């Protein structure tokens, strides 16, 4: 995860009574961060939102293209075996809104401000720290 994401993910972006987890600062942000990255740069690169069930309960969101390439900026919250389990049952879907949600807009503005603009290269497009090459 890039430092821009770490400092941009704050309590006000969490819903449902969730609290920031100091042991895993990306936990709980998968929907909002996936949505923000989608609108900032991955939508035009052919990625779509995906959601899958987490073993033990809950859901997890990420972006994936038709070739099976996965962008998951919050993957650090799971071990590799759990990720494969989630991705293998995931499905393409849309976000809950047709345009960036309020939380996504807030996060996008923070990332753009910290990075000096919405340049996909500056945001880490293609960085291996949040990219998984799985095909299902």
Q: What is the mean pLDDT of the chain?
A: 81
Predicted local distance difference test score (pLDDT) of residue 50: 97
Give the pLDDT confidence of 29-76 residue by residue, as tens digits: 899 999 999 999 899 999 999 999 999 899 999 999 999 999 998 898
Predicted local distance difference test score (pLDDT) of residue 64: 95
Is the sign of the CA dihedral 10, 91, 132, 41 positive or negative? negative
Position 121 pLDDT exceeds 80 = no
Are 34 and 59 within 8 A, CB to CB? no
Distance CA 27, CA 50 (A): 17
Output the pTM of the full model.
0.80
Predicted local distance difference test score (pLDDT) of residue 133: 46
Predicted local distance difference test score (pLDDT) of residue 95: 94
């Amino acid at each position: 995860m890039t430092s821009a994401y770490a400092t941009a993910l704050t309590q006000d972006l969490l819903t449902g009574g969730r609290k920031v987890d100091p042991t895993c600062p990306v936990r709980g942000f998968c929907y909002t961060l996936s949505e923000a990255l989608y609108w900032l740069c991955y939508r035009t690169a052919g990625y779509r939102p995906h959601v899958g069930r987490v073993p033990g309960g809950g859901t997890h969101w990420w972006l994936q293209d038709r070739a099976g390439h996965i962008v998951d900026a919050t993957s650090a919250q799971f071990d590799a075996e759990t990720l494969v389990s989630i991705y293998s049952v995931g499905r393409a879907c849309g976000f809950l809104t047709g345009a960036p949600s309020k939380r996504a807009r807030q996060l996008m503005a923070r990332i753009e401000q910290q990075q000096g603009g919405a340049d996909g290269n500056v945001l880490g497009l293609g960085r291996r720290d949040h990219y998984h090459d799985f095909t299902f």
